[in-house]
């Protein structure tokens, strides 16, 4: 076993231990945990969506707890402005105006996790600032550029309430490696535990009980690059991914049919080149987590819905039905594009 092999094997054990630790606080969400873990080790931003009270915030707080580095959060509100992330003003004890760094820049380069709670309650101006931070991992503040080389943005959004909310633009959605839906567990025993086990009633204590900073966050970027170099994608696999990409723009060409929809008139734009690049990046990590040094079609299929569905742009008449159309379309594309 060469140096890279040994390092990747050691880190895989750490990653699985991290996943198990989060699983102590978030039960009945094995698929969600694995997708978030994949995004973390692919160094991709994560957006969660779901109904109220299904555990989105608990999940993100749990990952922030077990990952190393500084953590900051902000709450999306209708009156939040971009400047509120950069600085805040107050009256000091001396009775004079004072200015302090806001949550985004307070920790400087050590910021590893920025959690934006209920992002769709914030105005588009705030989304625009976050867009630059996610794309460039930097921001302008106090006449200097603040860089965040180790930053991952975690965000969640409420898909139920429509009042005082702002839809996230396609450009902003495309910056997230994955959008992951989280629902209440279906298993009766897990539902019973969530209802009656006092451990799950105190989120602060629950998250605080998890082991903190299980991995050195300053090494994750180098590790992610090592995974991408080490895990191979064959020519046949690459051709398969290209066919999937074509199908996102013209699903009718591969025979996709959806009840009650004219598929040929559904799409305004398919997946972006960035999106397909991130798909393969996530698939390599998925393969690594399974102990393989090559990507299989199953690895691509495993991460395809979460990495691609939120990037698709439907014709306006269908956008309001995105939450029901997108999952069905993802399943249909995977079913109709033959795998090698």
Residue 208 lies inside a defined structural domain of this protein: no
Residues 188 and 328 in one domain: no
Residues 157 and 273 in one domain: no
Residue 29 lies inside a defined structural domain of this protein: yes
Residues 14 and 119 in one domain: yes
Q: How far apart are the first and last CA of the chain?
A: 29
Residues 330 and 183 in one domain: no
Residue 206 lies inside a defined structural domain of this protein: no
Of 191, 223, 255, the last residue of a domain is: 223
| CB distance 171 to 33 below 8 Å | no
Residue 285 or residue 322, greater confidence: 285
Average pLDDT of every residue of the chain: 92
pLDDT tens digits, residue range 11-65? Answer: 999 999 999 999 999 999 999 999 999 999 999 999 998 888 888 889 988 998 9
| CB distance 150 to 220 below 8 Å | yes
Residue 129 lies inside a defined structural domain of this protein: yes
pTM (2 d.p.): 0.92
| CB distance 227 to 303 below 8 Å | no
47-85 burial code (b ≥16 CB/10 A, e <16): bbbbeeebbbbbbbbbbbbbbbbbbbebebeeebebebb
Residues 56 and 179 in one domain: yes
Residue 158 lies inside a defined structural domain of this protein: yes
Please report, for the domain that includes residue 61, its CATH number: 3.40.50.300
Residues 117 and 188 in one domain: yes
Give the list of residues 6+ apart from residue 70 with CB closer than 8 angstroms, or none: 107, 110, 111, 112, 113
d(CA 241, CA 97): 56
Residue 213 lies inside a defined structural domain of this protein: no
Of 223, 256, 287, the last residue of a domain is: 223
Residues 23 and 157 in one domain: yes
Residues 98 and 243 in one domain: no
Residues 52 and 91 in one domain: yes
Please report, for the domain that includes residue 262, its CATH number: 1.10.8.80
Residue 149 lies inside a defined structural domain of this protein: yes
Number of domains in the chain: 2
pLDDT tens digits, residue range 208-234? Answer: 999 999 999 999 999 999 999 999 999
Structural domain of 267: 231-336
Residues 183 and 242 in one domain: no
Q: Which residue has the tokens 């820049």?
A: 105
Residues 249 and 179 in one domain: no
Q: Which residue has the tokens 């060469």?
A: 2
Residues 147 and 270 in one domain: no
Give the list of residues 6+ apart from residue 197 with CB closer than 8 angstroms, or none: none
pLDDT tens digits, residue range 63-107? Answer: 989 998 888 999 998 899 999 999 988 888 888 888 889 999 999
Residue 212 lies inside a defined structural domain of this protein: no
pLDDT tens digits, residue range 97-124? Answer: 888 899 999 999 999 999 998 898 898 9
Of 223, 256, 290, the last residue of a domain is: 223
In the 3-class helix/strand/coil scheme, how is 115-144 assigned residue by residue?
A: EEECHHHCCHHHHHHHHHHHHHCEEEECCE
């Amino acid at each position: 076993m060469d140096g890279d092999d040994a390092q990747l094997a050691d880190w895989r054990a750490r990653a699985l231990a991290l996943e198990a630790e989060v699983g102590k606080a978030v039960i009945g969400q094995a698929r969600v945990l694995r997708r978030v873990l994949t995004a973390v080790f692919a160094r991709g931003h994560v957006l969660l969506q779901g109904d109220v009270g299904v555990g989105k915030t608990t999940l993100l707080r749990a990952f922030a707890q077990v990952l190393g580095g500084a953590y900051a959060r902000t709450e999306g509100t209708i009156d939040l402005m971009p400047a509120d992330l950069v600085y805040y003003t107050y009256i000091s004890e001396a009775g004079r105006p004072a200015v302090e760094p806001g949550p985004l820049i307070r920790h400087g380069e050590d910021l590893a996790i920025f959690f934006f709670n209920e992002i769709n309650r914030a105005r588009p101006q705030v989304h625009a600032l976050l867009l630059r931070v996610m794309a460039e991992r930097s921001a302008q503040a106090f006449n200097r550029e603040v860089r965040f080389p180790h930053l991952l943005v975690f965000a969640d959004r409420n898909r139920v309430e429509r009042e005082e909310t702002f839809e996230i633009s396609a450009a902003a959605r495309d910056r997230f490696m994955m959008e992951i839906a989280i629902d209440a567990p279906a298993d009766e025993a897990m539902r019973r535990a969530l209802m009656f086990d006092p451990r799950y009633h105190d989120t602060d204590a629950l998250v605080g009980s998890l082991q903190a900073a299980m991995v050195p966050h300053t090494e994750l970027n180098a590790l992610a690059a090592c995974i991408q170099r080490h895990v191979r994608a064959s020519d046949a696999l690459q051709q398969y991914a290209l066919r999937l990409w074509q199908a996102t723009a013209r699903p009718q060409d591969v025979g996709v049919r959806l009840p009650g929809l004219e598929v040929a008139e559904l799409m305004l734009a398919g997946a972006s080149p960035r999106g397909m690049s991130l798909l393969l990046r996530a698939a390599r990590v998925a393969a690594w987590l399974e102990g393989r040094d090559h990507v299989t079609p199953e690895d691509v299929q495993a991460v395809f819905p979460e990495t691609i569905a939120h990037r698709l742009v439907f014709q306006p008449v269908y956008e309001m039905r995105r939450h029901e159309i997108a999952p069905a379309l993802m399943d249909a594309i995977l079913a109709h594009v033959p795998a090698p």
